[in-house]
Amino acid sequence: MPAPPGDGWTLVDIGESDTTVYRRGNVFAKCCDAAGVEELAAERARIEWLAGTGFPSAKVLDWIEVPGDGGRTAGSLDGAGAAGACLVTSAVPGVPGDTLPPEVRERAMRSLGRTLRALHELRDCPFERPLASVIATAADVVRRGAVNPQFLTDEWRKLAPTDLLAQVVAESPYVESVLEPVVCHGDACLPNIFFDPETLEVSGLIDLGRLGIADRYTDLALTTIQFHDEWSADPTPFLEAYGLPTPDPRRLTFFRLLDPLTWG
């Protein structure tokens, strides 16, 4: 896996992806080997699109490829033939949500509710995450035996991943029948949401590799369960600020189960 060119980079131990992240001042470099170039290039496109809407997020500063046998050179647009790549972005100001102290969390939840609603109201997004495609990804992860049990609840760990997938498949017709496609972050967990520590307003979103048109509960399910798991907090302030004080419990459960089956 290539490292970014130049001196002064510090390895950052964050995230769950197969990339390696470095920091130098207010700049981050996410680097991957050949197998991850296509996925990293897709993330770059999503960052560029969201930044172009004026929504608070990182900005792409550079794209560096290590040429492979395909003969491509650094700076090519699609990453084909590259032996590896580095995506260089600006740092998002503020602090990640998982570091906020208890006394400010209700204000942060309300801020995030408003921000997520604004994200979901964006238009003309060129990226999509159809539910059938996400379920297919989960089926592949389960088939390969790659489900990470740390991402599952204690109750779900008692069941075989194939049984969990069967629950998802059985419930999917209902979810499809009430689908509300919007622009979703796709991995709206607290470490990926940054806040101004003074105002508690959302200062930016990071890790946009899954951004795209999907059911709004893709984000709502993950965010609300994060409040419960990480903060032991009732998500009501978030849901009220979002404008959905009584969410559909079936869709919350569905997407909370589907998400951990898609990493691996």
Just list the catalytic residues.
187
The CA distances from residue 184 to 94, 162, 218, in Å, are 22, 27, 7
Annotated binding residue 207: yes
Q: What CA–CA distances, in Å, run from 31 to 6, 79, 100, 157, 209? A: 14, 13, 28, 32, 14
CB 184 within 8 A of CB 213: yes
User: How far apart are alpha carbons 23 and 150 in whole angstroms?
Assistant: 27
Question: Is 148 a known ligand-binding residue?
Answer: no
Read off the tokens for 59. 């900005």
Q: Could you tell me which residues are annotated as the binding site?
A: 192, 207
Q: Which residues are annotated as a binding site for Mg(2+)?
A: 192, 207
